[in-house]
Amino acid sequence: MADLKNLFLLTKHPSTTQILLMSLFFISLFLLSSSPLPDFSHSLIVSTFTSRLLTAANFFSSSSASDSNTIYSVSPSSIRVNNESKKMDKELTSCDIFDGAWVSDDSDPVYLPGYCPYVEDKFNCFKNGRPDSGFLRHRWQPHGCSVPRFDGEKMLKILRGKRLVFVGDSLNRNMWESLVCLLRSTLEDKNKLSRVFGKQSNLHNEGFYGFRFRDFKCSIDFIKSPFLVQESEVLDAYGKRKETLRLDVIQEPITKIYRNADIVVFNTGHWWTHQKTNEGKDYFQEGDRVYEKLEVKEAYTKALRTWADWVDSNINSTRTRVFFVGYSSSHFRKGAWNAGGQCDGETRPIENETYTGGYPWMMKVVESVISDMKTPVFYMNITKMTWYRTDGHPSVYRQPVEVRGSSPASGMFQDCSHWCLPGVPDSWNQLLYATLLVSRGSLPYKSLGSLL
C-alpha cells in the first residue's frame, strides 16, 4: 500500500487535475469491491491501479518544473514522461531494458575503432591487430520496447554542471572509458576535453582518474575500488605483514565522493572470484579479527552490507543518484584466466536465446542487499546481455602483436573478462543514457532489472 500512501502525500495540496484523479480512484475502488474477480486479490489490483494513478499524477504535477536537467528523488513506480519522445519514454517505463537479444546492426559505432585516444591498450583490440569487426555490428534490443541510440550531445546536456563517478573494478573502468569516448565523439573541438590526474584532485590516490568537458562544466571520473571495502594489512605471529580485506570498512577514497557527486555508478564482482578471496583463508577481517576461514559468499554479503550502510548514511538521494552495475559475464574455455582459459576465434554472439550462462550467486546477494536499502538504487542487470557476447572480449588482442607475437604461445593469458572498445560496454552506456533521458525529472525506486 506504499503507492496509496504516496498518492495521498502527492495530493496534500491538490490541484483540479489531482482531485479528478482521486475521484476516479475511489470510484474504481467501489467498482472493484463489487465485482467478482476470482483470479486476483483486491489488494494486488488496488496496488496496480494506484501505481498507474500515481504515475499520471506525477506527470501532471511535475509539468511546471523549471529545470529539466535536475535529477530528482522519486517514490516507487513514478516516472515522469518527458514531452520529447513520449511514446518511447512510455515504452521504456513499462519494459525491462535488460531482457532482450543482440540483433544485427550495420550502422557504424558512435566512435570508430582507433579514434579515441583514451582507450587503454588492453581494451584497444583494433590497435592490437584484431582482424575482424563483426563484433561491432550488433545492438542490444530489449523485448517489448526500443531504446534510443546514444546521443552524446543530449547526454552532455543532461550532465551539464554535474559530476558522474564510476567506482569499482576494471569492468567499471571499461564502462568509464567507453562513456568518455562516446561523449568525446560529439565534440567539435576535442581540445575542450581535458584529463585530470589524482595529484590534481582532492583524492591523492593513484586510483583516481578524471575527465572534464569544459563547455558543459561536467566531469566523468573513475575511482578504483575492486572490493568497495578497504584492503589492509596486519602483522602475523612472526611480525611479517600480510594482506587482509576489511569487510567492515568502506574504502577510504569512496568517502570523499559524496560531497560533490551527482551520479555514482558502483560495481564489484570479479575480484571476489580470485584465488585469495575465493579460498577465504586468513584474509577476511572485521575489527581486529582475521577469520581463519570464511566462505566467500558470506564475506561478499558482509562487504555489500558495509557499502549499503555507508550509502544510506551518507548519500543524499535528493541530490545524488546511485547505480549498481551487475556482474559482467566471462567466457573462458578450457580453464580459468590463469590456467590456459581461452576465448580467441569467437566472431559472433551466441544466438540461442535459451542459452543461460548461469546467474552469478553474487548478483542474488546484490539484489537482496539493495532491496533492504532506504536509498534508491538503480540496478543495471547486465549479466544476461553479456551471456551471449563470447565474441566481444580482447582474448589474445589484449597485447600488441610485437609483444604477443604473430602466433601467440598457448600459455599466454587471454582476456575473456573485459571487453574490446568500441564494443559491448557502449551498450551499457546506451542503457544508462536511456535511463537518464527518461528520468530527467525522476528515477525509479529500487529497480531490480527494470524501469518499473
- Which residue spans within 236-336 are E strands per DSSP? 241-250, 263-266, 284-286, 289-290, 321-325
d(CA 196, CA 336): 36
**Residues in a beta bridge with 290:** 285
R_g of the chain computed on alpha carbons = 24
* Residue among 270, 331, 393, 418 flagged as catalytic: 418
Give the residue among 47, 60, 41 at the shortest CA–CA distance from 3: 47
* Residue among 75, 77, 170, 329 flagged as catalytic: 170
Q: Compute the residue count for the chain.
A: 452
d(CA 422, CA 182): 9
CB-based contact 198:256 (threshold 8 Å):
no
Does residue 104 have an active-site annotation? no
Chain centre distance of CA 308: 16
- Which residue spans within 173-251 are E strands per DSSP? 193-197, 208-213, 218-224, 229-235, 241-250
d(CA 325, CA 47): 29
Contacts of 344 (CB under 8 A, 6+ apart): 395, 396, 408, 414
What are the Cα distances from residue 440, in Å, to 84, 223, 363, 401?
11, 25, 27, 45
What amino acid occupies position 48? T
Give the residue among 434, 329, 341 at the shortest CA–CA distance from 89: 434
d(CA 214, CA 192): 6
Q: Where are the alpha helices (DSSP H) in 34-80?
A: 42-61
Element (H, E) at 361: helix 361-371
Does residue 418 have an active-site annotation? yes
Does residue 204 have an active-site annotation? no
d(CA 95, CA 13): 32
Three-state secondary-structure class, residue 420: coil
What are the Cα distances from residue 38, in Å, to 32, 35, 42, 227, 444?
12, 9, 10, 49, 31
* Residue among 415, 427, 439, 442 flagged as catalytic: 415
Catalytic residues: 170, 415, 418
